[in-house]
Amino acid sequence: MDEKEIHLRDYFRIVNKRRNTVFTFFIITFTLVVIATFTATPIYRAATKVMVERNTSTALGGGYRYTPYDPEFLETQYQIIKSVAVTQKVVQGFNVEKIYDTFFSKEGSKQSVMATSVSWLKGLYSSFKEMIGIEEFAPESQTPDNDPIPLTKTEQLEHVIQGGIDVQPVQNSRVVEISFMSDNPALAMKISNSIARAYIDKLLDMRMETSSYSIRWMTKKSEAQRIKLEDSERDLNKYQKDNDIITIEDRMTVLPERLSELSRRLTKSETDKKELGAVYNQIKSINRNDLETIPAIADNLSIDSIKKQIITSEQKISELSKKYGRKHPTMISAKDELKGLQGKKKSEIRKAVQTIENQFQLAISNENNLRTLLNETKFEATTLNEKYIQLKILKREVETNRYLYDALVKKMKEKGLTEENSSVNVWVIEKAVLPQFAASPNKKRNLLLAIILGIFGGVGLAFFLEYLDNTVKSPEDIEERYDIPVIGTIGLFKNKKETVVETILKQSSSPLSENFKSLRTSVFLSSADRPPKTLLVTSMSPGEGKSSVSASFAATVAETGKKTLLIDADMRRPVQHNNFRIENTSGLSLFLAGVSSKNLIHKGSVQNLDIISSGPIPPNPSELLSSDRIVKMMKKLYQTYDMIIIDSPPLISVSDALILSKYVEGTLIVSSAGSTTYEMLNKGLKLFNENNTNLTGMVINKFDAKKSGYYYGYGDYYYSSAQS
């Protein structure tokens, strides 16, 4: 079976179906975010801007060179700024006792609701472990005697400050922003400025700690680079000798022009060959007497001259014939001259034909020669190109090695002069000021995120619930899964004061009544020859509405004038006598048991509709339905009624429906939307298939078009029609 294509409207249908879930999720999410946002402690952010760049000044010239973008250099500086060493310098510049007592002693009293909740849960968990005795199995390293030494106030300050440092580059610049966040704006400003000063001090310390190790390293590196340069130069010379690369560059400049010229000549040769081939084929196909009609032969100067002489000779003979007879010497001489000219013309034509043939063969040979020469030239160009590429690679390697070696030697010499210079230049270009507004929480951003999260989270939850829902939802799902026609859908019935049949008879134009009329039409059209005369109505499990559907369907069929019989074969939980307000003292159970056959058929409140109630509930309904009496009864009723509808017990619960399906021409399965699961249908349909049951189709009961997402306004149409 081909996979069903999912359209955008299917997604909208799911969202519309579960719109209450989406709305509830949105409200909860938005409310929680609003509460968290407006109850959070405001945090202030102070930032100091410093310009950080690599020192590219030369020791001798003092100028600056272009410095390419180096993300590793900047990231290294960020790590230095956030390092423990810088944090220690910041704390050294503070009065630890005053700063700690003034600002950090209040941290415990300003915990958020989330932090308080987590702390409470941890305490509860510890109490629970103590209560069940888990703590006694703790290793010795966790005993009170081995508790870690508590941090000093200085160390606590260092941890707090280091964890709060944030370093961000300013886009498209060499400026770095060093910021610190705190619930006290003055503290945030003071620490931010102190971090910048401590960072500069740390760079100076690092410069002073630089040793001659860098020079020794560069000396060793330059020696290795020198050996590498010499090896690459030897490889280049060897390659030039082995491949005769002396004139390769001159040949590389000539070959493109030669290729272009050969290509042009080959094109012209192909054109000449085609033209001569056309003339040659024309000569081969034409009669030899008509050769002189070919333009290439007719335009031959020699032939044209002979033709003029022949015309002159013919004119001469014509004039002489007026004076002399045919045997006159003058006439004979003139005719011989004409005959000679004609022979000469034929000879010239043969020469012209032979010339054209020779030219055609020459054109073919010329084309082949040019093609061969072109291919050879292309091969030569390819070979030279490969050699030239390899030559450039070797030259580039030599140049790179030479450049690296020269740079190392130069840098090593400069390093000896500029070892004491700092490799990083730092300038404070903007000190932190006292922040006036809180940086966190960002109320606008949080509310926007709450709206986005609420909407998309609700939609995602709706799709997840739809994925978990394994019940019958729509006719399309059933037809796609089981290849069984859904011949009707029955809407919800909410009137508890009346039965379904009474409601349908009173409101013939209601949507519910129209549902059963549509079902009636579908059953009548379910067979090409004639509709099933005996129809079994069953369901997979109790409570799916098969009794109400069979009763209402029988009443709807009777309205068409067909003599209809409804048999309540559900002798376990009969309800048809309640639907039609009739006695149930005698009925099917007594008839099948052979106790009584009186008052078997009851007249219903609907014209043309008769009912056989179930009768008293017997202890063995399945055995009664398997008796020969029901076969004889069905044969007799088959001759009397136009349609017989049998209401049977659910299929999965008992085997009554399988027994009854052997006595009918069609079976109608009633499923309940949102209640009947696909597992039930799989099991029930498997039983029917094994029993070779003739399935007429399936009816979806309690189908709420709005809730299922298939609402298109037809309910409003029927209601408005009924009111008018």
Q: Cα dist. 615→424, 548, 554, 663, 689 in Å?
A: 103, 18, 19, 20, 31
Question: pLDDT tens for residues 463-499?
Answer: 888 777 777 777 887 887 888 888 888 877 665 555 6
Three-class SS state of 79? helix
- For 196, the token pair is 């910048």
Question: pLDDT tens for residues 517-527?
Answer: 888 888 888 77
Question: pLDDT tens for residues 328-355?
Answer: 787 788 777 877 877 777 777 777 777 7
Q: What integer pLDDT is reported at residue 159 of this predicted model?
A: 85
**Measured distance CA(234)–CA(133) in Å, rounded:** 79
Domains and CATH numbers, the chain: 41-210+423-440 (3.30.1890), 248-418 (1.10.287), 484-718 (3.40.50.300)
Say which range, 32-36, 53-57, 82-86, 609-613, has the weakest mean pLDDT: 53-57
Considering only CA atoms, which of 657, 656, 652, 669 is closest in space to residue 545?
669
Say which range, 30-39, 491-500, 585-594, has the weakest mean pLDDT: 491-500
CA dihedral 400, 403, 404, 409 (to 10 degrees): 160
| 679 neighbors 470 (Cβ within 8 angstroms) | yes
Question: pLDDT tens for residues 410-433?
Answer: 776 665 555 555 678 888 988 988
φ, ψ (nearest 5 deg) of residue 169 = -75, 145
**Measured distance CA(55)–CA(65) in Å, rounded:** 9
- For 365, the token pair is 């040979």
Q: Cα dist. 699→77, 152, 652, 659, 660 in Å?
A: 74, 78, 17, 21, 19
Q: Which 8-state DSSP code applies to residue 440?
A: B
**Measured distance CA(396)–CA(617) in Å, rounded:** 102
Considering only CA atoms, which of 498, 502, 474 is closest in space to residue 486?
474
Q: What integer pLDDT is reported at residue 299 of this predicted model?
A: 66
- Alpha-carbon 500 to chain mean position: 48
Predicted model pTM: 0.48
Q: Which 8-state DSSP code applies to residue 563?
A: -
**Measured distance CA(533)–CA(526) in Å, rounded:** 12
Helix or strand run (H / E) with residue 567: strand 564-568
Considering only CA atoms, which of 627, 633, 629, 577 is closest in space to residue 605?
577
Three-class SS state of 434? coil
Confidence of residue 143 (pLDDT cuts 50, 70, 90): very low
Which residues on adjacent β-strands are paired with residue 701? 672
- For 506, the token pair is 């009173």
φ, ψ (nearest 5 deg) of residue 587 = 180, -150
Residue 663 above 50 pLDDT?
A: yes
Residue 295 above 90 pLDDT?
A: no
Q: What integer pLDDT is reported at residue 398 of this predicted model?
A: 80
- Alpha-carbon 656 to chain mean position: 50
Q: Cα dist. 218→230, 268, 418, 448, 638 in Å?
A: 18, 65, 14, 56, 110
How buried is 524 (Cβ within 10 angstroms: 0-12 exposed, 13-18 middle, 19+ buried)?
middle
| 355 neighbors 301 (Cβ within 8 angstroms) | no
Q: What is the mean pLDDT of residues 376-385?
A: 72
**Measured distance CA(213)–CA(208) in Å, rounded:** 13
| Dihedral-angle region of residue 676 (phi above 0 means left; psi in -120 to 50 means alpha; beta otherwise) | beta
**Measured distance CA(604)–CA(582) in Å, rounded:** 8
Helical spans, DSSP H, in 244-328? 248-285, 295-298, 301-320
- Alpha-carbon 145 to chain mean position: 60
Half-sphere exposure of 597 (CA within 13 A, CB side): 5
Q: What is the mean pLDDT of residues 568-573?
A: 88
Question: pLDDT tens for residues 44-81?
Answer: 889 999 998 887 665 445 555 556 666 788 888 888 88
Percent of residues in the chain assigned helix, strand, coil, to nearest 5: 60, 10, 25
Confidence of residue 723 (pLDDT cuts 50, 70, 90): very low
Considering the chain, what percentage of its residues have pLDDT values greater than 90? 5
**Measured distance CA(168)–CA(75) in Å, rounded:** 10
| 572 neighbors 649 (Cβ within 8 angstroms) | yes
Residue 384 above 50 pLDDT?
A: yes
By residue count, the chain amounts to 724
Average pLDDT, the chain: 77
- For 560, the token pair is 């068409």
Helical spans, DSSP H, in 174-212? 185-208
Q: Which 8-state DSSP code applies to residue 676?
A: S
